[in-house]
Chain A
């Protein structure tokens, strides 16, 4: 048992991967009987201070349907300078640069300890980071002042060549033209009318003049710097003017009558932000940062009316189908989220108010794009200020911890297929031999897009064993999976991180003990929890709990040792002993129990659960008890 714990820990440290099962049942039938699916928790950009990136591009398998990256599991013929892909068995020639390799002179990607390698892509234009602030001005004076100061402070934390833009909104939406000359201009939009992307781009003057476009060479944004730069400018040019502009922001001037909420056009503001970036910087890493001090009350995406006597929807209202605006609003934000994700842009929401702000309807914006969701009581609190500062925290190399525009691709050996992923991603709809027909989470694809991620962003990836029952164990006895993440690093370099892992197959009927001993109960708990939370988004609460309970019962039936009719004889081996208490706490947690939480709060908790790494997720399910005593008050800590 101790060896497996060490094995699990070493693998997590090196590859950022934890599997529910570390010895795999070799047939589909046996795998389903295991109850907990074969799945893993992957942190694609796990911080590896000891792993310097290599300055060359990866070597790929030449089979067009494979294209796996050279890895330590590949067989290599050093004399003939050939390598065999371990996924499709294609024999490939090494490129000329590898002419000097030998058994004693291996490239890093073939060495066993480099199961994870990060490559830096030297070629291609490097686009700057883009930050678009979308700011609600229907705030109390103190709150607005605190928010303005935080935004001004953030200008000092951003790198000098980052591009920045500002949209403010209340009853109207103002897109500010950033210029270094004296007079500041802005384009004003009505907050009641939604506009298409094209209309927004036309009204802001972003449409490029008609010119013949070669289908293989789409126009790059860099070719039209004058058009794109009016609303998004680099910090080193615009910081002083933008600081003044922020300092001069006033509360929304429209008076709010007694008994009414301020008219807040969040839906249109976000729509304009997405349209602006779509038109100026498509397919570049960008962050839309939305700051709201209350719910949207006007226009498309409104979540509640402006009468204070009609409260915002609660879970009770939703159950009784009494939430008037929910479906339409959710649809509006889902459409925006999908457009942003398609362009590689991520949306953050910073919502600080004493009442709900519509996070339930807007959550797709952060969940599909990998943006942050921050929920607080006021912008004048250290919770907001500190969290906002830490968005811009730097790693040991002085680079931001944020990454953009990531694509995650999963390749499996023939006996496995990918059933889906649960996390802050959207599907890229890439079909292929690795894709299973049974979907768990976001399925039907072997590639996903994660527009915004950081070193702790974590996905749950679910697999299906496809070997037939009684088919012999594959030659070599091991199955393999490769995770390839292409992304834009915060230094604007494009990078590729490749992680290749392998685990032994075992026949479940004769070697069940081995499979049991290699069970990772912590990973299994989090993976089942993610499945449960995913289900809870579309199913009724009691159904999800019933499902979870049934899975626990089946697992205990399969792996528990007991004598019939004797409850006190029930035992679980060490590798399963913590699992029941995780399930105990999970089914009572705010992730699956919505009682005593508002819809916004439930959305907030679930948002964080679906992206945190394993340790944080377990702490969220069951906080760790360090010590307790029956003899008096807590002792003072050392």
Chain B
């Protein structure tokens, strides 16, 4: 879903700045469990230098600088990958222009759905940010990966896949914060509001099914619409 790529660090501002892993690589669970290469060789005790036998496990690729935090999220060594992002397209149409309308319309529709359920101020705020999204898209300020992933997000939102949509929004915030930060929080809120609206609707449905069943077991009593 999210891209798996490694960008170089900012060599101008940071000496030896490490490469930057994309959100997709960071959240990948572990990868193949490699034996930790922690075997050490003791100094020869009889004073003569000898060729050390390699005690590392064969086949385990030596990796670049170890990741900064805990071991479970170890990305594979991708130094030889091209620095450009490798975005998988889920669209049947090949490399076509992703239309602003295809992304904006479902979002606006979702917003309309939420109007009854959400405070006016929040809706206005979201709507303001969608307008910002439109402006930036139409003005050519958004890059292709951002547009592609937004299209994907809108798809997931329309299919009620809240967690997937949320994950895509997070991956966009992590990988492309400069482009999306101004309006993405509106999309995030929209997903959250749609999610809570839909769970409310489900709860109401269940309740009304229960009452209908109840009423059906007692004939003769009029069921109020």
Contacts and interface: CB of A to CB of B under 8 A. Distances in A.
Q: Please determine whether chains A and B interact with each other in the same assembly.
A: yes
Given A381-B9, A570-B45, A386 B62 contact: no
A540 B54 CA distance: 40
8 contacts: A156-B169, A243-B181, A243-B185, A382-B14, A386-B68, A578-B40, A625-B41, A627-B56
Contacts of B47: 568
Count class of interface residues, chain B: 35 or more
> Most A CB atoms within 10 A — which of B38, B121, B169, B185?
B185
Given A382-B14, A382-B17, A578-B42, A153 B185 contact: no
Given A153-B173, A377-B15, A378-B14, A240 B26 contact: no
Contacts of B36: 615
Nearest to A374: B68
B10 A381 contact: yes
Interface stretch (A113-121, A298-306, A387-395, A417-425): A387-395
Interface of A: 47, 142, 149-150, 152-153, 155-157, 160, 180-181, 236, 239-240, 243, 247, 376-378, 380-383, 385-387, 389-391, 393-396, 401, 454-456, 568, 570-572, 574, 577-578, 580-581, 615, 618-619, 622, 624-627, 637-638
Nearest to A572: B45
Contacts of B13: 142, 377-378, 380-381
A47 B181 contact: no
B103 to A, nearest CB: 19
Interface of B: 7, 9-10, 13-15, 17-21, 26-27, 29, 36-43, 45-47, 54, 56, 59, 61-62, 66-73, 121-122, 125-126, 129, 169-170, 173-174, 177-178, 181-182, 184-186, 188-189, 192
Given A377-B15, A382-B14, A570-B45, A156 B21 contact: no
Nearest to A577: B42
A446 to B, nearest CB: 28
A382 B7 contact: yes
Contacts of B184: 156
Contacts of B15: 377
A571 B18 CA distance: 43
B9 A390 contact: no
A192 B214 CA distance: 71
Nearest to B183: A243
Contact of B56 (A150, A378, A626): A626
A382 B9 contact: yes
B68 A581 contact: no
Contacts of B62: 626, 637
A149 B181 contact: yes
Given A382-B14, A382-B19, A393-B70, A240 B174 contact: no
Nearest to B55: A626
Contact of B70 (A156, A455, A577): A455
B3 to A, nearest CB: 15
A387 B68 contact: yes
A342 to B, nearest CB: 27
Contacts of A615: 36, 38
A395 B38 contact: no
B189 A240 contact: yes
Contacts of A240: 122, 125-126, 129, 185-186, 189
A637 B76 CA distance: 14
> Most B CB atoms within 10 A — which of A142, A380, A382, A383?
A382
Contacts of B189: 239-240
Contact of B20 (A377, A386, A580, A638): A386
